[in-house]
Amino acid sequence: MQQTKVIFVCFAILAVCVSSASADLIVNLRAISVTGAGNTITGEGKTVNLASPGTITYGVYVKPDGLDLLNNEGLLALGGKFITTYGTGVLGNATGSALDPLFNQTANGAQAGTIQDLNADGRMDIGGTADTSATGWIYPLSTTYPAHRPTPSFEEEFYVDTIEYNAQVILPGGTDSSANWFRRNGSSAASNASWTEDGLPKTAAKNGTTYRSGDPVALHAIPEPSALILLSMGALALLAFRRRK
């Protein structure tokens, strides 16, 4: 009898843990390439180190995060926008958005988004200005319903959009800028996002937390390699001068 009680308690605890675990739609923005001398990407695409002006290519990755570990998650559509929040180290502008072919069903409303200033900083972002209207938003829409991810794949993500960004001003020593995806938050849950999770249809309610973004991408200004070489040479020359004295 005591053993039965212990088993029951264990199953109850397991049920609580499973029901409270993450089972959501997570959007991750990642830098996938960068041009320009001395520029690099680290931290699985979450940090771009910029020594010179260049073009950053971002990928928008979406993961319906189910719990049953089966290949039964899918993505139909989601609405969002790309915004860069500026520090003092990196300044630039978004220059383009291109939906992945699987999510480019333009005849039914898919759209790459409008390039415009979305946070009144005088620099270009991509997306809509009003949650009540579809106008301007980045809206990947699948050509199937839903678009099941390839096998074996409960750990994989959908690639839905490519975003281009031109980093124009690099000021080493300045504070980091950051870029991220921001969800549409309209009254129509299906217009915000539609997906399947553990084989069940899901939508993103207004002000809900099931559809959300991952960590932002940090844009970090660093000295140019040539500047570092000059500094090193200067330090060595100064050291040699002091030794001669």
φ, ψ for residue 207 (rounded to 5)?
65, 10
What range does the domain containing 118 cover? 23-225
Closest CA to 134 of 117, 109, 161, 108: 109
pLDDT over threshold 80, residue 10: no
- What φ, ψ does residue 204 adopt, rounded to 5°? -105, 105
pLDDT one-digit tens code per residue, 18-76? 443 456 999 999 999 999 999 999 999 999 999 999 999 999 999 988 787 777 888 99
Q: Are 75 and 31 in contact (CB under 8 A)?
A: no
Structure tokens at 50: 């910029």
Rounded-to-integer distance, Cα 115 and Cα 97, Å: 8
Mean per-residue pLDDT of the chain: 85
pLDDT score for 12: 40
Render pLDDT for 99-126 as a digit per residue (tens, 0 to 9).
Answer: 999 999 999 999 999 999 999 999 999 9
Q: What is the SS3 assignment for 90?
A: strand
* pTM summary value: 0.83
Residue 244 lies in a domain: no
Q: According to the model, what pLDDT value does residue 239 have?
A: 56
Least confident of 19-33, 77-91, 123-137, 202-216: 19-33
The C-alpha atoms of residue 131 and residue 208 are separated, in whole angstroms, by: 14
> Considering its fold, how many domains does the chain have in total?
1
13 is a domain residue: no
Please determine, for residue 6, whether its predicted confidence score (pLDDT) is greater than 90. Answer: no
152 is a domain residue? yes
Helix segments in 137-219, DSSP class H = 189-192
DSSP type of residue 144: S
* Contact call for residues 148 and 161 (beta carbons, < 8 A): no
pLDDT of 212: 95
CA dihedral 17, 212, 25, 139 (to 10 degrees): 170
- Kindly write down the DSSP assignment for every residue of 206-223, as one continuous string: TT-SSEEE-PPEEEEE--
Dist CA 118 CA 125 (whole Å): 6
Is residue 38 within 8 Å of 24, Cβ to Cβ? no
Q: State yes or no: pLDDT of 11 exceeds 80.
A: no
Instruction: Give a yes or no: residue 71 inside a domain.
Output: yes
Q: How confident is the model at residue 83 (pLDDT cuts 50, 70, 90)?
A: very high
CATH code, domain carrying 88: 2.60.40.680
Enumerate the β-bridge partners of residue 217. Answer: 179
